[in-house]
């Protein structure tokens, strides 16, 4: 074997491209050229994808830009609508940090805590780092009071909830 690297000439590259196009175009179940609906670029897509309504965009970026355009103005599903006074009240309670689960919801309160306190790095109980650490609510009233949240690893979080009778039956993660 020789140690030389093969470098195809321009003519050979053109022949290869033409051969690939011919290969794909001879079989209708394979790929065809399509024009991107956003940027107008030409790309290869499966015929079966075209039949399913897919294969319209050359990249995820072009698809995302199309969605952005569609969601502007009258294309937006919330266009011309307004939040009710009750919804506005709930949103302000959550944003101000005075709401509880009745006003916000379990996941939204966790998101607010993560946003305000950041990502926890060290378990406050066992001092472990480099593993999954969660914000645990001390009294399980789930208010957005930042003093009521401590960083715990999954194991310590499960133990904390189990000791305080807060772990639901059937959820036995942690030792």
Residue-averaged pLDDT of the chain:
79
* SS3 label, residue 42: strand
Cα–Cα distance for residue pair 33/44, rounded to 1 Å: 4
Closest CA to 70 of 83, 82, 87, 57: 57
- pLDDT at residue 19 is higher than 70: yes
Residue ranges covered by each domain of the chain: 10-75, 104-175
pLDDT digits (tens, 9 = 90+) for 50-84: 778 788 898 899 999 998 888 888 888 888 888 89
pLDDT of residue 91: 75
Structure confidence at residue 115 as a pLDDT band (50, 70, 90): confident
Report yes or no: 36 and 62 within 8 Å, Cβ to Cβ: yes
Q: Which of 2-11, 54-63, 99-108, 157-166 has the lowest mean pLDDT?
A: 99-108
pLDDT digits (tens, 9 = 90+) for 118-154: 889 999 999 998 899 999 988 877 777 888 899 999 9
DSSP string, 119-142: ---B-TTT--BSS-EEEEESSS--
pLDDT of residue 151: 93
- pLDDT at residue 174 is higher than 60: no
Query: What is the rounded radius of gyration, in angstroms, for the C-alpha atoms of the chain?
Result: 28
pLDDT of residue 152: 93
pLDDT of residue 81: 87
- pLDDT at residue 164 is higher than 90: no
């Amino acid at each position: 074997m020789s140690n030389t690297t093969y470098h195809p000439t321009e003519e050979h590259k053109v022949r290869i491209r033409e051969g690939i196009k011919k290969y794909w175009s001879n079989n209708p179940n394979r790929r065809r050229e399509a024009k991107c609906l956003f940027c107008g670029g030409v790309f290869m897509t499966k015929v079966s994808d075209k039949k399913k309504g897919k294969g319209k965009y050359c990249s995820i970026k072009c698809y995302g830009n199309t969605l952005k355009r569609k969601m502007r103005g009258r294309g937006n599903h919330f266009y011309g609508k307004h939040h009710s006074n009750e919804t506005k009240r709930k949103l302000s309670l959550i944003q101000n940090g005075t709401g509880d689960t009745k006003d916000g919801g379990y996941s939204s309160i966790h998101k607010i805590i993560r946003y305000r306190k950041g990502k926890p790095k060290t378990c406050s109980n066992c001092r472990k780092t480099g593993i999954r650490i969660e914000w645990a609510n001390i009294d399980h009233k789930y208010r957005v009071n930042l003093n009521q949240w401590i960083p715990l690893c999954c194991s310590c979080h499960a133990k904390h909830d189990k000791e305080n009778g807060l772990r639901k039956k059937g959820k036995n993660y942690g030792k």
